[in-house]
Structure 1
Amino acid sequence: MNNAPENGAGRRVRVVIVDDHTIFRSGLKADLDQRIDVVGEAGTVEQAIAVIAETRPEVVLLDVHLPGGLGGGGREVIAGSMSLLTSTSFLALSVSDAAEDVVSVIRAGARGYVTKTISGKEISDAVIRVADGDAVFSPRLAGFVLDAFGTAPADIADDELDKLSARELEVMRLIARGYSYKEVAKELFISIKTVETHVSAVLRKLQLSSRHELTKWAAERRLL
């Protein structure tokens, strides 16, 4: 099914599956629909970091608990792939629905977290959404994320801004004002790729998932 040719229905998303159970990886590949192109697999932290760097997928389906490395599991894989976060998104896929697992992997930089109880169609839909820039969570897990990363009140805005570098702050304000990446690059005399890198860092540090949320966040704090 994953080898079906591309057609007019749309692009296929390049995915790496990271899980230490070979049988699960095989079953998942069979369940994913023709919108997904599995370009690599891994079963340990070290293998995952190497495969992700080599294949540069759009999305990594990442188990939270993995052998190898320094014991950090999925979080360690994300940390070891930091240079690719502007082009690769991580979607945690785990049997665990523990709040600490959900929060820790999202803090590390994952774009979503779903449990292994969902169907192949649901996982395929989640992969597409994450590839398009959305944050995706199984319904039962969304509350954990809201509790941990809910919109902070304006009186702690300064603490949040301290997370941003001077350049990131400049980029944030321009993006929030509606500037395109090209316009920001021209205004600040930097490349478009550098703008993309800064925007990704800003969204990650502020725990936001889109330009729309960034604009709302900045407006609420009168930063525009």
Structure 2
Amino acid sequence: MERADQTDVTLQDVWLFLDEAGTSANDAMTLVGATAFQNVLDAEMAIRNAYHRALGDASIWPDETKRRKFAETGFHFTEDSESVRQVLLAALSQLEFRAYVAYARNDLSQEVGARLVAMYGTLLSSVLARYRETALTVVFEQNSTMDPLYGKLWNVLTRDVALSDARAFRGTKSAPCLAATDYVLGVTRIHLAGNAHDFQENRYVALGRNLAYLIDFDDDRHLGGNRHPIV
């Protein structure tokens, strides 16, 4: 599996960006997600523009140290202030994409890597089936723990799902659309926790036009969402 820090868009019809959240011991739940883009170049440009708007707005940076860190790492939901979050969420609200999320309550008796592989398998079996007739590029977020497992997972999925044209890469946060998946997971995670403020719940409601489905991994249930694929 290769690195995908720069997007190469030639014959590819759909790009799928994958990420996970809630993997530490004190997290109540683990989530895995995917966002699917057709016009990935416009999406990357919109996210980069949002980054520059946030970086250039001195009013949202009372702490210069945080601003310098953001300049180096870009958007990351768990680290960004509400003001910074709103900049990217506003940009995402103007983009066409589909989001897919699976979640599970954390079980300390289960190894994190094994749980993530199982969850990705469930999520991607459904998602890849939707895109089996397209030219598809899948980007996993680079993760030192998961990197050895991504290749095995991809081999199993491509064996089980008859994909007409597909390739997979590992990408760092410099792949801008990974920030979209990170934010989808962040917004969904707050909603699922059940104690969201009104403005946070409104963000989840706004996400509804993009959320194709939400999988309760523990109970094997598909919940709500807009069920039609991007293509």
TM-score per shorter chain, which class?
A: under 0.3
Larger Rg: 1
TM-score (norm 2): 0.26
